[in-house]
């Protein structure tokens, strides 16, 4: 969407774009067209509860919440293994097809959003038993902060989605 | 919370019987579950496991936040999630705590053939006594809520006990103690019904949720566990809560009239055989049959 106040300047000009090999940023119009966000669940607490049997019983596996419309478009059914790729890395988990996320209409275009809980990683009860893909969500997110207040902006980024 | 009530024997300076002296108060316990304030955190699921000493189960993700498809012999209460689409197209995530309803007219008790395997206490709690259970599974056919579950290792049936061990000591059940939002309430049936009606009225009048109401099915004589639902006309949306639960007629027939028909049939048979003997005598065997080695 065009910046109405300053056409031609889409991003904050003083934002620091890191230049290490891991920091790649996607550009407008490339293959990453789905908005992704990350959040936490009630049943888990950050990363240590994947080592606790009680929490793992309540939510055993990592999943990606996908709107029904997007799942229908890509031919994904619930429980299918999906791969989420951003400019930086990828994440593999099961699909949770839900009616609770609706597609958005931005600037006349239909934009989809998917949501991923953060709690699983590469070590844990399920991970050590080989029951999930052992990918971490942090590999997907960009390292961008507001140049003035240093507020992190890791939670909104672009990805593409496909069956794994 | 004391379950003892004071009963009057005599009062002074009064002609005739003292008011209320012959009233017998049966203290019925009741658990109120307010689905409108439940956040689906599953603290009640864990509290139940911890209090009853069950270890954790290996679960699998199945396109839902629900921990498992239904309750199990070692998992007595379960939050059932349903992404319900209302008539106007909006989506709501309905969460309901599923466990034994402790019916006043329990179908499991009616169907059970084992002496003393299912006990209903005066306070309304329906409890399984596993030492008397024969593992036949008839309780499953009697229950309209599909609650009793079989343990294949010990061959006994299990379900929620409404923490009878805690309640009999004056404590509230484990699930109620653990609920962080306070959507679970425990007390006497009268108090909980009153609270539920108040909440339902608040939802209807202050929040415009017109179909809010209390789920306390009369088909099983009322239950020891009652719900406040946003839409009491559609309980099936809450993870399959039956709209009009009652004991299946076949169980009522089999444990009622069928027994008398059976008795009659047996008595009639014995009577018939005796009368036939007196009238016609024993079976006559003719000479030819003897010669042919007993063949007619």
- Give the residue extent of every domain in chain B: 29-245, 256-291
Residues, chain B, total? Answer: 296
**Residue in A closest to B50 by C-alpha:** A54
Q: Which residues of chain A lie closer than 8 angstroms to B63, CB-CB?
A: 78-79, 95-97
Nearest by CB to residue A54, choosing from B56, B60, B64, is B56
DSSP string, B148-164: -EEETTTTEEE---TTH
Q: Compute the distance between CA of residue B93 and CA of residue B215 in angstroms, rounded to an integer.
A: 19
ipTM value, please give it. 0.85
Domain CATH code at residue A126: 2.40.40.20
Separation in Å, CA of B78 to nearest CA in chain A: 10
Task: Give all strands (DSSP E) within chain A, no chain letters.
Answer: 34-39, 63-67, 81-85, 90-98, 104-106, 109-111, 113-117, 157-163
Q: How confident is residue A27, by pLDDT bands cut at 50, 70 and 90?
A: confident
Q: Nearest 5°: phi and psi at B218?
A: -80, -20
The CATH code belonging to domain B29-245 is 3.30.70.20
Write the pLDDT tens digit of every residue in A91-137. Answer: 999 999 999 999 999 888 899 999 999 999 889 999 988 888 899 99
Separation in Å, CA of B130 to nearest CA in chain A: 26
Is A56 an interface residue toward B (CB < 8 Å)? yes
Is A97 an interface residue toward B (CB < 8 Å)? yes
Q: Which residues of chain A lie closer than 8 angstroms to B46, CB-CB?
A: 54, 58
Quote the pLDDT of residue B24: 65
Spatial neighbors of A32 by CB under 8 A, at least 6 apart, are A26, A85, A86, A87, A158, A159, A160
A59 located within any domain: yes
Q: Which residues of chain A lie closer than 8 angstroms to B47, CB-CB?
A: none
State the Cα angle at A109 between A107 and A113, rounded to 5°. Answer: 105
> For tokens 């929040």, what's the residue?
B207
Query: In this complex, how many residue pairs, one in chain A and one in chain B, have their CB atoms less than 8 Å apart?
Result: 48
A17 located within any domain: no
Distance of CA B181 to the CA centre of its chain: 26
Chain B residues touching chain A at CB-CB below 8 Å: 39-42, 45-46, 49, 56-65, 67, 83, 85, 91, 93
H/E stretch holding B165: helix B164-167
Q: Which residues of chain A lie closer than 8 angstroms to B62, CB-CB?
A: 78-79
Number of domains chain A contains: 1
Nearest by CB to residue A43, choosing from B42, B60, B93, is B42
Quote the pLDDT of residue B289: 61
Q: How confident is residue A13, by pLDDT bands cut at 50, 70 and 90?
A: confident
Nearest by CB to residue A100, choosing from B46, B56, B93, is B93
Question: Positive or negative CA dihedral for B200, B205, B207, B210?
Answer: positive
Nearest CA-CA partner of B150 in B162, B133, B167: B133
pTM attached to this predicted model: 0.84
Question: Positive or negative CA dihedral for A26, A27, A30, A35?
Answer: positive
Spatial neighbors of A81 by CB under 8 A, at least 6 apart, are A92, A93, A94, A95, A133, A163, A164
Quote the pLDDT of residue A2: 76
Quote the pLDDT of residue B154: 94
pLDDT at A1 over 80: no
Write the pLDDT tens digit of every residue in B258-273. Answer: 999 999 999 999 999 9
Return the residue in A56, A58, A126 with the most chain B beta carbons within 10 A, the one to mutate for interface testing: A58
First to last CA, chain A: 31
Average pLDDT over residues A40-59: 92
The CA-atom distances, in angstroms, between B52 and each of B49, B77, B117, B285 are 5, 12, 19, 69
Structure tokens at B102: 């402790």
The CA-atom distances, in angstroms, between B232 and each of A149, B88, B203 are 49, 17, 12
Under 8 Å between Cβ of A124 and A140: no
Each residue's pLDDT expressed in tens, for chain B with a length of 296 residues: 455 566 777 788 888 888 777 666 668 899 999 999 999 999 999 999 999 999 999 999 999 999 999 999 999 999 999 999 988 889 999 999 999 999 999 999 999 999 999 999 988 999 999 999 999 999 999 999 999 999 999 999 999 999 999 998 889 999 999 999 999 999 999 999 999 999 999 999 999 999 999 999 999 999 999 999 999 999 999 998 999 999 999 999 999 999 999 999 999 999 999 999 999 888 888 776 665 655 55
Greater confidence (B270 vs A20) lies with B270
Quote the pLDDT of residue B288: 67
A85 located within any domain: yes
Spatial neighbors of A129 by CB under 8 A, at least 6 apart, are none
Quote the pLDDT of residue B1: 43
Separation in Å, CA of B41 to nearest CA in chain A: 6
Could B83 and A97 be called an inter-chain contact, meaning their C-beta atoms sit closer than 8 Å? no
Domain residue limits at A59: 34-163
Q: Compute the distance between CA of residue B235 and CA of residue B81 in angstroms, rounded to an integer.
A: 13
Q: Compute the distance between CA of residue B149 and CA of residue A126 in angstroms, rounded to an integer.
A: 27
The pLDDT mean for chain A works out to 89
Quote the pLDDT of residue A11: 79
Separation in Å, CA of B70 to nearest CA in chain A: 13
A20 located within any domain: no
Nearest by CB to residue A57, choosing from B41, B56, B65, is B56
Q: Compute the distance between CA of residue B238 and CA of residue B136 in angstroms, rounded to an integer.
A: 30
A105 located within any domain: yes
Query: Do strands A113-117 and B29-34 pair parallel, antiparallel, or not at all (unpaired)?
Result: unpaired
Q: Compute the distance between CA of residue A14 and CA of residue A148 in angstroms, rounded to an integer.
A: 9
Could A63 and B41 be called an inter-chain contact, meaning their C-beta atoms sit closer than 8 Å? no
Q: Compute the distance between CA of residue B128 and CA of residue B76 in angstroms, rounded to an integer.
A: 13
Under 8 Å between Cβ of B182 and B173: no
Under 8 Å between Cβ of B227 and B215: yes
């Amino acid at each position: 969407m065009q910046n109405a106040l300053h056409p031609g300047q889409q991003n904050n000009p003083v934002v620091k774009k890191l230049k290490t090999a891991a920091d790649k940023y996607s550009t407008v119009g490339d293959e990453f067209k789905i908005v992704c966000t990350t959040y936490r669940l009630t049943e888990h607490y950050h990363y240590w509860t994947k080592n606790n049997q009680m929490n793992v019983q309540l939510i055993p596996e990592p999943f990606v919440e996908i709107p029904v419309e997007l799942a229908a478009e890509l031919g994904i059914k619930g429980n299918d293994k999906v791969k989420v790729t951003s400019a930086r890395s990828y994440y593999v988990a099961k699909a949770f097809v839900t009616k609770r996320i609706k597609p958005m209409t931005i600037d006349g275009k239909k934009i989809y959003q998917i949501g991923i809980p953060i709690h699983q990683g590469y070590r844990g009860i399920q991970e050590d038993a080989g029951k999930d893909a052992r990918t971490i969500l942090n590999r997907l997110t960009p390292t961008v902060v507001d140049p003035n207040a240093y507020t992190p902006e890791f939670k909104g980024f672009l990805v593409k989605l496909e069956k794994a | 919370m004391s379950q003892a009530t004071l009963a009057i024997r005599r009062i002074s300076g009064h002609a005739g019987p003292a008011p209320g002296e012959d009233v017998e108060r049966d203290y019925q316990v009741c658990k109120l579950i307010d689905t409108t304030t439940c956040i689906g955190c599953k603290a009640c699921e864990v509290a139940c496991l911890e209090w009853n000493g069950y270890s954790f189960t290996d679960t699998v993700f199945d396109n839902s936040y629900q921990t498992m498809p239904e309750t199990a012999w070692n998992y007595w209460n379960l939050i059932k999630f349903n992404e319900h689409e209302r008539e106007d197209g909006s989506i709501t995530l309905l969460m309901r705590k599923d466990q034994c309803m402790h019916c006043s007219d329990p179908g499991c008790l009616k169907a059970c053939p084992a002496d003393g395997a299912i006990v209903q206490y005066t306070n309304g709690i329906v409890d399984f006594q596993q030492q008397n259970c024969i593992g036949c599974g008839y309780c499953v056919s009697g229950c309209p809520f599909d609650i009793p579950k079989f343990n294949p290792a010990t061959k006994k049936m299990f379900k929620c006990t409404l923490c009878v061990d805690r309640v009999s000591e004056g404590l509230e059940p484990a699930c109620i103690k653990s609920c962080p939002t306070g959507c679970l309430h425990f007390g006497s049936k009268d108090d909980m019904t009153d609270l539920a009606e108040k909440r339902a009225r608040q939802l209807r009048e202050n929040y415009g949720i017109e179909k809010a109401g209390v789920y306390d099915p009369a088909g099983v004589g009322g239950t020891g566990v009652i719900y406040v639902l946003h839409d009491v006309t559609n309980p099936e949306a809450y993870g399959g809560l039956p709209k009009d639960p009652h004991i299946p007629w076949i169980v009522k027939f089999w444990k009622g009239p069928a027994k008398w028909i059976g008795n009659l049939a047996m008595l009639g048979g014995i009577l018939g055989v005796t009368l036939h003997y007196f009238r016609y005598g024993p079976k006559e065997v003719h000479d030819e049959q003897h010669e042919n080695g007993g063949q007619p």
